[in-house]
Every structure is written in structure tokens, then in C-alpha cells.
Structure 1
Amino acid sequence: MKYSDILVTGSAGFIGFHLCKYLLENFEDIKVVGVDNLNNYYNPILKKKRNEILKSYNNYEFIKLDFSNWDELLESLKDKEIDLIVHLGAQAGVRYSLKNPWVYVKSNDLGTLNIFEFARRFDINKVVYASSSSVYGGNKKIPFSEDDRVDKPISLYAATKRANELMAHTYHHLYGIKMIGLRFFTVYGEYGRPDMAFWKFTKNILLGKPIDVYNYGKMMRDFTYISDVVDGIMSAIKKDFEYEIFNLGNDNPVKLEYAISLIEKYSGKKAIKNYLPMQPGDVEKTWADLTKSRKLLDYNPKVSIEDGLKRFVYWFKENFDWVKDI
């Protein structure tokens, strides 16, 4: 590893936590500076638990800040000797963007602009940043390829993530900063997000409560296990690209009903299903074309939906005393 001081935004978030933990466990000579505003989009207890785990490592420094506030960002980080930024912090969630659009532009667009501008002003020559499969919008061509047009987003969340990609291209073109964008496809796993389907399904099935199944169960998703995503991020960190965008998915979309059946199997309980129509901003099917990622990133997802959901449900059951309240 040629980097010594890595800034990870969204370090108390799901993907940020797992990336930081991997770096801290495998590279003792690297200092990880994690920033997060610990907001209450979902129960902050979960973010605090993740953060406490990271703070147990000697080579981790946590700074609570809102990176959409330029003055706060500058004051908190100006004296740090950062040589790589992994920008994972963002306001997540498609459906929430219908209710509170302003926070998405503030966090995802203004916040990302601040991170890119910080990299420019402090001569940090590489940024790996999070994008999303949502940028593919309502594209009918399956699987989704990085070469596909992505100019018709169907949610504000998707629009903000596409804007991030365009800003990254601008900062690369103008200032020569190496920019690597990663389009994540429905990431799941231990310490995941409680606003996502697998957490909500597992929690309610174990509690004997109904689960909401959208599009009458006809959804298909390219669910991607967290360790595979971390592998992809690490490859983007280690490899030397000037400007690229990569899909990080599983290349194996599965029906939502099948995923629910696996949760039932591993939890030992049957789901009470409440079938509902498609929700605004949702897409019926996602599928990552990994041709480019396999060739250039050496990315090869290893965890099947069966194995990944087994790990997640077993973790959920082992930690049920506190996860049930989140």
C-alpha cells in the first residue's frame, strides 16, 4: 500500500465502517481518518456502535463533522497529512428523497463538491468515490453497463449521484485529480442499513410482524455482499487509474421472493407478507455488467446470495437484543 494517511468519509456508515475496519486490520502502518456527522436518518445507535468498534484501533482517528459545511471541513482537516480520499459519505435512500429532497442536494452535491475542492486545495491527487446503480434509472437494457446512457434518473437520489460523477470528471479534467467512481448495487451484510429490505424483513420476520413487499414481489435485485464491495474498493485504491467508473455488483440478480425465502429458512420463521405496488423512484430490476470491473479491477464477487444471507441472518439473530430496537 503506497498511501499512509487515508480519509474515509461516512466512516460510521455501513460501507464506510467495513472499509475502515478492513484497512485498520490489514495495514497497521496506515492511519485512517474517519469523518461522519452521525445524523439521525436512521437510529444513530447503530452508527455509534460501528464507530466504537473502529475507535478501538490505535491507527484510527474519528472526527465528527458535516462535510457539506465548507468552513467546518476546512478547519477540521486542514492540518491532516492526507494522501488519499475515499468518499463514501452521502445521504442514502431513494424513497426518503421524495420526502426531503433538500438534504440530498446539501449532502450529496454540495458535500461532494467540498470534498473534491478540498482534494484540489491540498494537493491530494486521488479520490475514490461512491456512486450508485440508481444512476441507470429506468434503462431497459440489462445488464447495466458503464457505457450505457445515464441521463434519465428517476429519483432525486439518483440525480445527485450522477451529478457527483459529472463533478468528478470536471475536477479530473481541470486539475488532474485521479477520480475513480464506484457504482454500488444493493449492498447488504452485517451492520447494514436498517432502512434497507433485508434488515426490515429479518427484523419483522423474527418479531412475527408483517413485511411490506413492493411490486407484489416481482422485483429483482443484484444483491452484493459487503466483503465483495470492500474488495472492489481496495482494488480501486491500489490500482492506478486516471479517471474511471466501475460497477460493483454481484452479476447475479435474484427475485425478491427468493431472497425472502432464504431469510425464512435461516431465521426458522415464515414471513407475513403485505404485497404492495411499485413505489415511486424504484426500478423493477438491477443487474451489474461486470465485464469492465473484472478486466481492469480484477473484481470477482465471491459471496452468493445464499451464503451472504445466511451470514447476515445469523448475525442478526446473535445481536437480536439490540438490533430489534433499530
Structure 2
Amino acid sequence: MILITGTAGFIGFHLAQRLLADGEAVVGLDIVNDYYDVNVKYSRLAEAGIDKAKITYNQLVQSSTQTNYRFVQLDMTDREGLNALFAAEQFSTVVNLAAQAGVRYSLINPQAYIDSNIIGFTNILEACRHHGVKHLAYASSSSVYGLNEKMPLSTSDNVDHPISLYAASKKSNELMAHTYSHLFGLATTGLRFFTVYGPWGRPDMALFLFTEAILKGEPIKVFNHGNMVRDFTYVDDIVEGITRVIAHPPQGNKDWTGQHPDPSTSKAPYKVYNIGNNDPVKLMDFITAIEEELGQPAEKIMMDLQPGDVPATYANVQDLMQDLGYKPETPIRDGIRSFLNWYRAYYGYTGAKAGAIQTEQN
């Protein structure tokens, strides 16, 4: 039995569908908060066969279409509820994708990041420790690289200079996970995602907001005057990476030494991977691809670099290739086209009013 937290969210929804298609039994967990449009979250759940009308807090709901999928609305800060769930279900694997997301929002509401990303993650670690979980895989972020400028960004590099509380919370998760791997033998794998995009994507992210604004004939705000580079990674590639990680819990690196410590591994059963496309794209090229696929130009308002943002991301995925034989490789044009096809079908070219355009890391 696999627990996936964050299954009303973007990546969690896609991962649950993939694992169910592979024949796994899955429990999905989500608080379904209102950080962005909850209708999108409930629509994802509906796509998976979960009826909104049947959702009651802390009660499992059976999917109407997938007999091996159940969903529970639960806050990870609810330690009692979480422990009861773990005790009842006896999960073998946990994939923690639930978190308070967003770089810029962490400047406005820092407490939400402490509650979800620190307290909630602590409760997940404790539940795994006390209920026999064999492997915990969890979402970290490319944001942890902070002020690092050496490209491509490598998991073997030091990441001690985050520039947002979101990034700091994700780095904290990695440190906390290592502690539990070292003390209690819990196998943990951290996954640093790089700017994930695709169908059912987050409404606060660049591709969604750019598309919405262009179709409505509204201007888009382009931060850092367009001088941004992102390693945009298609969601199916992210899911493939997670699926492979789940099947290969870390065993501990017998060659690791404290004399020359590699931050991405340990003698304990602990590992951190980048999951990125390894093919950085200039923001202006990204916008051009959207314009050309839509057949409509964008009116652009050039803005300064926003607090918490970094100018460039570019993932080194050598250890992912070496350990798991995998590298994300969906071309940006193909991924954008898939998103736009979904967007047209879901919204019929309409949606909520676009605001400031985001080019955040995930």
C-alpha cells in the first residue's frame, strides 16, 4: 500500500494515476487548501473518481472508478489523525508531495510554510518511523540552490544559501530526513523538482498564467526583463522519475566519508536527486513557444527580478541516470502543446483573471 500526500495537487494527481495504472493500491491525502483555485483541485479529484460531495474530513473515500484508490482529506499538522491513518493502513511506501508551495507567497504568509513544510513533514517522519514504513520519498525543490551560480546545479554542491523561506523549508526537509535515516534506518529519498509544467498544472505558475492572459488579450508581466532561464520539466517525466525512485530505496553509500562529505548521499539510507529536463530554456523563448502554439502574440510588461527569485536553473541529472537509468527528455514544444490542449478542453479559453506572472521554481 502506497500513501501519496498532495493528491489534489498537480504532481500528486498525476503520480496517483500512474501508480494505479501500474496496479498499485494507493491512498491519497490532501488538505485541499485555497492557496489557488480549489475548483481545479476538486476537478483533479473528480478525474480520479473522488466525489467532492462524499469528502468528509479524516474519513477515507473510495474512488467510484478505481477500486484500488481511496482518498482522505487530512491536514498533516493533525498528528493524531495522521497516526491513526498510518496505524490502520500499514503503508509500505510514502510519497510526500503535500506542501505549501510558491516562492513569493512565502514573503507574505511565512507561517503557512512552517505549519505545512516543517511541522507537517515532522509528523510524516514520525508516522513513518513508528509504523514500519520502508521508504519515504519526498518533494524537495530546485529552490534550495538559492544563490548558487555554478551550472548545472548538482546535488553534490553545498546548498546553504536559500533566498526564500520556501527554499529554506525544503532544505530543512532534507536535513530532517537524513536525521531519521541515520537514527532510525528509515530509507528516505529527496527529489529536487525543476519547474514542473503540464496538463492540470498549477494556476499560479507561468505557463498557466501566460496562457490565460494571452487568450484574454491581457498583458503578461515578464520578470527580470525576460532574462530568466528555467529547466522546465514535463510532469510525465517527473512522475516517471518518482516511480523509479519508489522502486529503489537507498541502501546507504559504503564509500561515503565525513572527510569529504557528499551532501546528496550518506552511509545512512539517504539520497537526494535532481529531477529536471537538463535543457534550460530562456524565458523569452518559452513565451514565444506559447505565442506560436496559440497563434496569438502577448503584450509584455517588463518587470524587475522579484524577491526570492533566481535568474537561472539547470539540473545536473547524472546520478539519476547512473542509479536509475533515466533522464527527463520531453521537448518543451511538445509539453506546451499538451498543456494547451488540456487548457482548451478544461476552460474553453476562459478562466479567472490573470495576475502577476510567475516564473517560480518548484
Normalising by the smaller structure, the TM-score range is: over 0.9
Match of 2:33 in 1: 39
Larger helix proportion of the pair: 1
Amino acid at match of 1:321: G
State percent identity of aligned pairs: 47
1:262-277, aligned counterparts within 5 Å?
A: 262-277=289-304
| Offset at residue 125 of structure 1 (A) | 1.8
Amino acid at match of 1:226: V
1:147 aligns to 2:147 (yes or no): no
Runs of 4+ in 1 over 4 A off after TM superposition: none
- What CA deviation, in whole Å up to 9, does each residue of 1:86-116 have, x standing for no partner? 0110000000000000000110011011001
CA distance in 2, matches of 1:264, 1:31: 41
CA distance in 2, matches of 1:37, 1:240: 27
1:87 aligns to 2:83 (yes or no): no
CA distance in 2, matches of 1:104, 1:240: 27
Amino acid at match of 2:153: F
1:23-102, aligned counterparts within 5 Å?
A: 23-27=19-23, 30-55=24-49, 56-102=65-111
Amino acid at match of 2:302: Y
| Offset at residue 322 of structure 1 (A) | 7.9
Match of 1:138 in 2: 147
| Offset at residue 323 of structure 1 (A) | 6.1
CA distance in 2, matches of 1:231, 1:146: 19
Structure 2 portions without partners, runs of 5+: 50-64, 251-268, 354-362
| Offset at residue 54 of structure 1 (A) | 1.6
Select 1:258's aligned residue among 285, 291, 301: 285
| Offset at residue 243 of structure 1 (A) | 1.4
TM norm structure 2 = 0.86
CA distance in 2, matches of 1:91, 1:46: 16
Select 1:106's aligned residue among 104, 111, 115: 115
Amino acid at match of 1:184: F
Structure 1 portions without partners, runs of 5+: none
| Offset at residue 76 of structure 1 (A) | 3.6
| Contact persistence 1:224–1:249 (CA under 8 A) | yes
CA distance in 1, matches of 2:13, 2:170: 20
Match of 2:6 in 1: 10
How many residues get paired? 320
Secondary structure, aligned partner of 2:48: helix
Select 2:212's aligned residue among 203, 218, 241: 203
| Contact persistence 1:6–1:85 (CA under 8 A) | yes
Secondary structure, aligned partner of 2:192: strand
Match of 1:171 in 2: 180
CA distance in 2, matches of 1:279, 1:9: 30
1:123 aligns to 2:166 (yes or no): no
Match of 2:18 in 1: 22
Deviates further, 299-308 or 200-209: 299-308
| Offset at residue 81 of structure 1 (A) | 2.4
Secondary structure, aligned partner of 1:33: strand
1:311 aligns to 2:305 (yes or no): no
Match of 2:263 in 1: none
